[in-house]
Amino acid sequence: MARLFGFPPGYFVIRSAATSRLWDVTLDEVEDGTPVILWPEKEHSLVEGLRSPEANNQVFFIDTSGALCSRASGHAIDVEGDSIVVRHRRPVSQPYPNAYSHPLPQFSYHQETQEISVSFSCDPTYPPPGGAGSDGWQRRKYILSSVPMRRPKSLIDNASAFISATVAAPLSFFSGNVSTQPKSTPEEVFGGDIDLGEDEILEQDRGEEGEVDDSLEPHRNIRLLSIDPRGALPQGTSARKRRQWQVLALRTRSATRRSQS
């Protein structure tokens, strides 16, 4: 009997608890390596006969081998770096495993925590043969999280930050708290080059500003978090919701209402 690893049988959608967006194969493409992102829900009905086929790139299933797959293309879902992507089945190539040819990861849904974990049967960094390999990857926990996205800073926001930094400098001199750190130039402040992208911020280093998710862009990214067993995940409400997913099975018919006696 095929194992479902916590997912429902048949087709289902996966909704982010933090953003209410659904897993979505980008632009409904079928090419190998197409990213799976978060996108606003295209079809609100969960009844098969009422849904548009154009929304099938937001529908997934577990196949008979236990692999998580996209309904639109039938291709499996794989991990590439810290992203999840569409992956074509590939022939074995030597030295096996490698970044091109390797066993698919196993996605598992945990209803108690609403987290989706990922397990690997080989080192997901695919080190070259004969290299100084490490088994540290076997002790790590891998789970999926949505990534917040801030709206781009406006000219007024950047000007305000620059003025605040300029005013703070002489005040620090009189208070005796003189910083030895190099100052940011106006070009760096206005150009935004000193900001890390949301995908470059480690989850444990995400400060209050990094929690902001106010971008008007419709998409959000999904990231694979690699958790050191000696560390702890951020337990704030926002951080926890980013790691939570609602898996909703599609139905063949509308839910019937019970008649009241």
* Residues 58-104: tens digit of each pLDDT: 999 999 999 999 999 999 999 999 999 999 999 999 999 999 999 99
Q: What pLDDT sits at residue 174?
A: 53
Query: Within the chain, which residues score under 70 in pLDDT?
Result: 132-133, 154-210, 255-261
Q: What pLDDT sits at residue 153?
A: 72
Q: What pLDDT sits at residue 156?
A: 64
- Nearest-angstrom CA–CA distance, 207 and 192: 18
Instruction: Give every CB contact of residue 95 below 8 A, 6+ residues apart in sequence.
Output: 128, 129
Q: How far is CA 53 from the centre of its chain?
A: 25
Q: What pLDDT sits at residue 235?
A: 76
Q: What pLDDT sits at residue 113?
A: 96
Query: What share of the chain has pLDDT > 90, as a percent?
Result: 64
Q: What pLDDT sits at residue 255?
A: 67
Q: What pLDDT sits at residue 209?
A: 60
Q: What pLDDT sits at residue 130?
A: 76
DSSP E strand stretches across 73-220: 76-80, 83-87, 106-110, 115-119, 141-147
Q: Nearest CA to 37 among 92, 77, 88?
A: 77
Q: Where are the domains of the chain?
A: 11-150+213-249, 155-191
Q: What pLDDT sits at residue 200?
A: 45
Q: Which CATH class is domain 11-150+213-249?
A: mainly beta
